Amino acid sequence: MKRILLVGSVGCGKTTLLQRLHGEDFTYSKTETIYTDRAIVDTPGEYLEMPWFKHALRLASFETELVVFLASATVEEAKFPPGFTTFFMPPSIGVVTKTDIAGPAQVRTAANHLRLAGTSEIFEVSALTGDGIPALADRLA
Ligand SMILES: Nc1nc2c(ncn2[C@@H]2O[C@H](COP(=O)(O)OP(=O)(O)OP(=O)(O)O)[C@@H](O)[C@H]2O)c(=O)[nH]1
Ligand SMILES: [Mg+2]
């Protein structure tokens, strides 16, 4: 699996996606700091949401091959600045999360936020049900 960095707002589903990709049981635990679990670098949502932390994300991305931007389909507002992908050296992809509890219009809105951030390749998944995970896992292989 590629070495990836997960970036997204608080509660958008980064750690749950990590657990799904590693085939682990789901255990909720608030991410407090950047940490690496095998090929995946997980980050706290606050690092995206608080301006003075954004550089920590950029530094962490130097160790990775791909930045994965996550946007929850349940969140209406954009959490990424436009063109945010240009802040990172590695290429990036977008992932809409929580598709199991959102309607098609909500999924489209989240995908649009990811496009505005600069990702052109976007996957729609539910970490909880596993929907869309095989295609994402193939991309990360
Ligand atoms: N229905 C549904 N809930 C999800 C999904 N993914 C995550 N959740 C729930 O959303 C909540 C937050 O998930 P986390 O994976 O901890 O979110 P996070 O992005 O790691 O959050 P921080 O560590 O705070 O940055 C948890 O209660 C998860 O169970 C999903 O695909 N579907
Ligand atoms: Mg987390």
CATH code (residue 89): 3.40.50.300
Return the ligand number nearest the Cα of 17: 1
Domain count, the chain: 1
State the Cα–Cα distance between residues 12 and 30, nearest whole angstrom: 11
User: Count of CB atoms within 10 A of residue 93's CB?
Assistant: 19
> Residue 112 belongs to what domain range?
4-22+44-140
pLDDT digits (tens, 9 = 90+) for 17-75: 999 999 999 999 999 999 999 999 999 999 999 999 999 999 999 999 999 999 999 99
Residue whose Cα lies nearest atom 23 of ligand 1: it is 31
pLDDT digits (tens, 9 = 90+) for 71-88: 999 999 999 999 999 999
pLDDT for the residue numbered 27:
97
Q: Does ligand 1 have an atom closer than 6 angstroms to the CB of 128?
A: yes
Contacts of 78 (CB under 8 A, 6+ apart): 71, 113, 116, 117
Q: Does ligand 1 have an atom closer than 6 angstroms to the CB of 32?
A: no
Return the ligand number nearest the Cα of 100: 1
Relative to the CA of 127, which ligand 1 atom is closest? 31
